[in-house]
A and B are shown apart, each in its own frame.
With several copies, the nearest count.
Chain A
Amino acid sequence: MSEETDRNTRPKASIEQRVVATKEALIDAGRITEADLDQFAHMAQDWRPENGAKVVARAWTDPDFRARLLEDATSACAEMGYAGPQGEYIVALEDTPDRHNVIVCTQCSCTAWPVLGLPPDWYKSPAYRARVVREPRRVLREMGLQLSNEVAIRVWETSAETRYMVIPLRPEGTQSLTEDALANLVSREALIGVALANPPTR
C-alpha cells in the first residue's frame, strides 16, 4: 500500500475534534486557561482593516502625519493606537501615478495585524501566494484591478519581519470629504494593494 493510500484509509479526527481535544488537553493540564484563549480571540477582533484605513485617511489629509508615516510607520501607527503582535516594524508603501504596490507572503501568510487585521482567505490561499509574485498584472486584473501598462508594479514579499501597508492614491473628487469619510473609501483589499481606494459615492 502506498503512503498516500495509507494516509487516506485511516480514520481521521475532524478539525473541530482536533481543536477541542487540544484545547481541553492543555486546560486539563493547567497549561493555559479559557481566559487566555478569550484574550487572544478578542485581540483578533480588534485588529481590523478599519485601523489601516484611518491611517491612510490621515496621511491623505495631514502632510506632517504623511511624512512621519513614510519615515517611520511603526511610530505613526502607534500614535493612532495601532501596535502589537505582527506590527513591530511597519513600513508604509505609497502608491504614485506610475507605481503601484502590492503585498504578499509567499511562505506563510504574514500581515501587519494591528493595521490590516488578520488576513482574509484569498490572501492565505496557495493561489495568491504562488501567482502574485510571478504574474501580478494578470492576478490584479482577475481580481478586478486593471492597471495601465505604464504603471510599474512592485510586489512586496513579506518573508522576514517587516510588515507592510499600502497607501493607495487618494481618489479624485474627495477634496471636501472629512477624514472619517475618506477612511470609509479604503478597504482591506486597498491596504494590501489588490484594489484601489473607492471613489466617493454621490
Chain B
Amino acid sequence: MDGIHDLGGTQGFGRIDIEADEPVFHHPWQRTSFALMMATQIVMRSHNTDEYRHAIERMHPAHYLLCDYYERVLTGTVSLLLEKGHLSREDLEQRAGGVFELAGPVADRPMADLTPQPEARFSVGDRVRVLTISPSGHIRAPKFCRGHEGTVIHRAPKFRFPDTSAHGGELRKEHTYHVEFASKDLWSDSDAANDSVIVDLWDSYLEASS
C-alpha cells in the first residue's frame, strides 16, 4: 500500500526532539493500549502481526500523522476486532460516548502477484534490484528502495512473508536479505557521499541485477 505510513524520504517534517528521561508511557491509557494490542494477538489470537500492521496503515493519513503512536496501536487493533466480528462498533461507540475513528477497508485485490521463493536465491555480494511492484495491500519493501539496485550484505533466516500473511494468503516463509543501497542512488540530491541505507528485504521482492 502506498500509504502515509511509508514515510522514508518524505520531506517537510520539522525537528526531532529527544525528551530527557522519557518514561515508558506518558499516560496510563498508553499502557492499556499497548497491553490490548498484545493481548488481542497473543491471548485472543484475533489476528496476526502483519494484519495488525496493515490495519494501522489503513488509517486516514491525517489521523495517522496527527495522533500519538499508542492511538495508532489502538486504532489498528480495534479495527481488526470489528472486522473479525469480535466486537460491534455500535457497542463500542456507546461505551466510548462518541465516534470511534477506525482504519479504512482492505483493498479488493491487496496482494501483488509474486512467486514464492522456498530456497534462498541470493548470496552475500550479489547485486539485486527491488521489483517496482505497488500492491494496494501490505508490503514491507519501502517505496524509496523499489526499482533501485543494491548489494546483499547479509542473509537472514526465513520469516513469514508479510504480504500474504496480512491478507489470509498462502502461509509461506522466505529468507530476507540485508541489502545495502548507496544513499546517492536513492535520492539524486543527497549530499551523503559515502552513506548508505540497508533494508531487510524478502527474497521475492528482489530480482538479480548485473
A contacts, CB < 8 Å to B: 1-8, 10-26, 29, 31-32, 36-41, 43-45, 48, 85, 89, 91, 104, 106-109, 117-118, 120-122, 124-131, 133-137, 139, 142-144, 149, 152-162, 189, 194
Contacts and interface: CB of A to CB of B under 8 A. Distances in A.
B66 A154 contact: no
Contacts of B57: 107
Contacts of A153: 192, 194-196
Interface in B1-40: 5-11, 13-19, 22, 24-27, 29, 31-36, 38-40
A18 B67 CA distance: 14
A106 B100 contact: no
Contacts of A7: 60, 62
B74 to A, nearest CB: 6
Interface in B147-203: 154, 156-157, 159, 162, 176, 178, 180, 183, 186-187, 190-202
Question: Which of B18, B100, B199 has the most C-beta atoms of chain A within 10 angstroms of its own C-beta?
Answer: B18
A3 B16 CA distance: 7
Contacts of A29: 86-87
B13 A127 contact: yes
A20 to B, nearest CB: 8
B2 to A, nearest CB: 8
Given A4-B66, A15-B74, A26-B36, A131 B192 contact: no
A24 B7 CA distance: 34
Given A121-B19, A160-B162, 14 more contacts: A2-B19, A5-B68, A14-B98, A18-B74, A22-B74, A37-B32, A44-B24, A91-B156, A107-B53, A120-B18, A124-B69, A133-B8, A133-B9, A159-B142
The B contact surface, by secondary structure, is mixed
Contacts of A6: 17
A162 B140 CA distance: 12
A3 B39 contact: no
B7 A22 contact: no
B105 interface: no
A54 to B, nearest CB: 18
Given A26-B36, A37-B36, A137-B192, A125 B16 contact: yes
A7 to B, nearest CB: 7
